[in-house]
Structure 1
Amino acid sequence: TVMLDKTGTLTRGEPMVTDVIPESSRDNILKLAAAAEYGSEHPLGEAIVKAASMEELELPSASGFNAIPGQGVEAVIDKKNIVLGNLRLINEKKLSLNGFNEEAERLRDQGKTVMYLGTDGKVEGLLALADTLKPDAFASVKALKDMGAEVVMVTGDNSRTAEAIAKEVGIDQVLAEVLPENKAEEVKKLQEQHRVVAMVGDGINDAPALAQADVGIAIGTGTDVAMETGDITLISGDLGGIATAISLSKRTVRTIKQNLFWAFAYNTVLIPVAAGVLYLAFRNGGIPSGLHFILGDYGFLNPILAAAAMALSSITVVTNSLRLKRYRPVKIESNSGGNTMAKAIDPVCKMEIEEKSAVATSEYKGKKYYFCAKGCKIAFDKEPEKYLAG
């Protein structure tokens, strides 16, 4: 069983704000959210702050910052208690959803992560963020399945968002709404079902799960803690390395078994001959004339040939092992699950998006540009040459 973390493993780990759904003022929701997340090291928090920066919004000062692992943050802004996080946090704080249910479900069905911003006992707005899948995610999952591995995705996202992402990459089994500290427990549950588990992750919160797994595979573009904890590190962050590591390890074990078989078979046959077992048959002479050099007069193996045979045994094993040098990594085609929709690169954030699903577009010098978020469009329209030059 191969368990894959979502953010930073299956996806690029660079989420972008794609939608801001306010009760009244869009800019106000984005400003409050960015102020609450200012200084946050969480990818989602950084994405919100970046979106506000692109739109050149002036952020109010925040105090009383409190990060709630796996749920969101709290802060005090303009003497108001601001809550920003997932549905679990909103329910725990007993905030009214204020009619945002259907909009949130629509966004989740698109595979987006939805964050609620609440104050004064109710939700004031929604922010949706999306992270693009790595180009080789679908093909890598398919390669693992073709090798007979069961692939599981684990994430802290709600089940609908998680299932939408899993469907896009071809994963059937999803563990959603798993808090960071519970990932290791999920690995242990699979091990209790007598499964050999390989955990693939990149973050600090993946480290316990990497340690718990039978094989921990860290993404090289992730944190140092994850790389130190993992048994294997994929230096490039290429998911194809997972299939390659498993394939190469299977071939290595197969080669070891072949070597052991030939070594045991070889020695089982020739050691008794070298020890003189044939003397029992030829002690009264009768050695065929053509075998005198090999077995002498009484069936004892010529010491020169015994030494040569011992060296040949080692040469056979080493030569068989050297065949591993001819191994070629599993070839992974970079695609998006066979999706043939036209793709475009957002000139501002450099995020790859489908032209059909672009949030906004602009035309400049006769060419059309596509954007993942309104903030990117606003920034581009102000200084198009700046982003085209980059």
Structure 2
Amino acid sequence: VFFDKTGTITDKFMKVSTTWFKDENAKNVFFSLEKNSEHPLAKSFVKSCQDCKELKVENFKVHFGFGISGNVEGKDYILGSEEFLKQYNVNLDEHLKNLRDKAIENGEIVTFLSDKKQVLGFVSFSQSIRPEAKLAVDALKSLNIEVGVLTGDTQHFANVLKKELGIEDVRANLLPEDKLKAIEEEKAKGKVVAMVGDGINDAPALTAADIGIAMGCGTDLTRESASISLISDDLRKIPLVIILSRKVKRVIYTNIFWAFIYNIIGMGLAVSGHLNPVFAALAMVLSSVFVIGNSLRVKSY
């Protein structure tokens, strides 16, 4: 089972830690672009910014694994990671580098706003691991299931996950296509792979996995890409899903086995002339009652 990190292993909403904007307009542009995004970081910033003014956004576009872009009041902007800035040869000055380095040391996620010429805004988000995450990981391990994390975040926070949750296979600095590749590699080894995510960047990985599991807080695209959609975003539901599916599978096999035995015996008696029509009708009713009764055992998982 592979987990996404942001909004899945970590809390749905993150806390805005550090902000810097060139001017008030840059702050409003940042807010307006984020208002159009479904990413957990965007929702966290929008929720925290009470004094921001929403501006009209046109040509809004999601760049998977990098960020978002759009035209605000006739001017093009990009908002996202430092790698996104590099695509337009936008460099950071010493002040921004210091802000970035300090945020990364604290295990925070950093985002930048740019007009494709210079950086106009910087926001970092502090993140905390869900309190039930350790219980969910331990439960999966007790079921003899390998656990891994695929994240686009830095190696620093990946090391925090290893220490806090005891997950050895934590892969950091991944783009959506890298997550896809990781899943394909595990499938090529003959493993059955599940992917758990909630973000728009997880959609390709959820589709590629044998079992895609969308958390309750997931985006519409994520839910469309998943095999299983959980109403709740409680990570403890993941091992419960697997326990329930195993129980259902055993019940199905039991029903099939007894149905075949039951009918083979019945056909043998009918062919030999030893099956009374009234008893045959009663036997069919009892067969259905048995199947329903056996299936109700699933409720006790």
Within the candidate set 292, 296, 300, 1:322 is matched to: 296
Aligned CA distance change for structure 1 residues 133 and 274 (closer, same or farther; 3 Å): same
Q: Is the 8 A contact 2:180 2:205 kept in 1?
A: yes
Q: Is the 8 A contact 2:133 2:165 kept in 1?
A: yes
Deviations along 1:191-230, one digit per CA (max 9) or x if unpaired, are 2222222222223332332222222222222222222332
Deviations along 1:81-108, one digit per CA (max 9) or x if unpaired, are 9986534346553736749878756643
CA distance in 2, matches of 1:57, 1:269: 75
Aligned to 2:30: 37
Deviations along 1:347-380, one digit per CA (max 9) or x if unpaired, are xxxxxxxxxxxxxxxxxxxxxxxxxxxxxxxxxx
CA distance in 2, matches of 1:50, 1:146: 38
Deviations along 1:36-80, one digit per CA (max 9) or x if unpaired, are 5231224435545666x46x6999xx9999875423568999xxx
Q: Is the 8 A contact 1:136 1:239 kept in 2?
A: yes
- 1:127-276 residue pairs with structure 2 within 5 A? 127-269=123-265, 271-276=267-272
For residue 39 of structure 1, give the secondary structure of its aligned residue in structure 2: helix
Look up the equivalent residue of 2:3 and give its one-letter code: L
Aligned-pair CA distance for 1:142: 1.9
Aligned CA distance change for structure 1 residues 302 and 222 (closer, same or farther; 3 Å): closer
CA distance in 2, matches of 1:210, 1:75: 27
Look up the equivalent residue of 1:203 and give its one-letter code: G
CA distance in 1, matches of 2:29, 2:215: 30
Aligned to 1:301: 274
> Between Structure 1 and Structure 2, how many residues are aligned?
293
Aligned-pair CA distance for 1:248: 0.9
Aligned CA distance change for structure 1 residues 29 and 49 (closer, same or farther; 3 Å): farther
Instruction: Give the number of the structure whose alpha-carbon radius of gyration is greater.
Output: 1
For residue 239 of structure 1, give the secondary structure of its aligned residue in structure 2: coil
Q: Is the 8 A contact 1:9 1:202 kept in 2?
A: yes
Aligned CA distance change for structure 1 residues 264 and 98 (closer, same or farther; 3 Å): same
Aligned CA distance change for structure 1 residues 119 and 255 (closer, same or farther; 3 Å): closer
Q: Is the 8 A contact 1:37 1:73 kept in 2?
A: no
CA distance in 2, matches of 1:187, 1:111: 26
Aligned to 1:70: 65
Aligned CA distance change for structure 1 residues 75 and 264 (closer, same or farther; 3 Å): closer
Q: Is the 8 A contact 2:90 2:119 kept in 1?
A: no
For residue 128 of structure 1, give the secondary structure of its aligned residue in structure 2: strand
Aligned CA distance change for structure 1 residues 83 and 109 (closer, same or farther; 3 Å): same
Deviations along 1:149-187, one digit per CA (max 9) or x if unpaired, are 222222221222233245433332223222235544433
Aligned-pair CA distance for 1:269: 4.6
Query: Normalised by the size of structure 1, how large is the TM-score?
Result: 0.59
CA distance in 2, matches of 1:204, 1:119: 24
Q: Is the 8 A contact 1:33 1:84 kept in 2?
A: no
Aligned-pair CA distance for 1:326: 3.0
CA distance in 1, matches of 2:58, 2:264: 77
Look up the equivalent residue of 2:83 and give its one-letter code: R
Q: What fraction of aligned residue pairs are identical, expressed as a percent?
A: 36
Look up the equivalent residue of 2:4 and give its one-letter code: D
- 1:353-368 residue pairs with structure 2 within 5 A? none
Q: Is the 8 A contact 1:10 1:137 kept in 2?
A: yes
Q: Is the 8 A contact 1:113 1:161 kept in 2?
A: no
In the alignment, structure 1 segments of 5+ residues that lack a partner are 21-25, 277-299, 328-390
Deviations along 1:215-246, one digit per CA (max 9) or x if unpaired, are 22222222222223322221122222222221
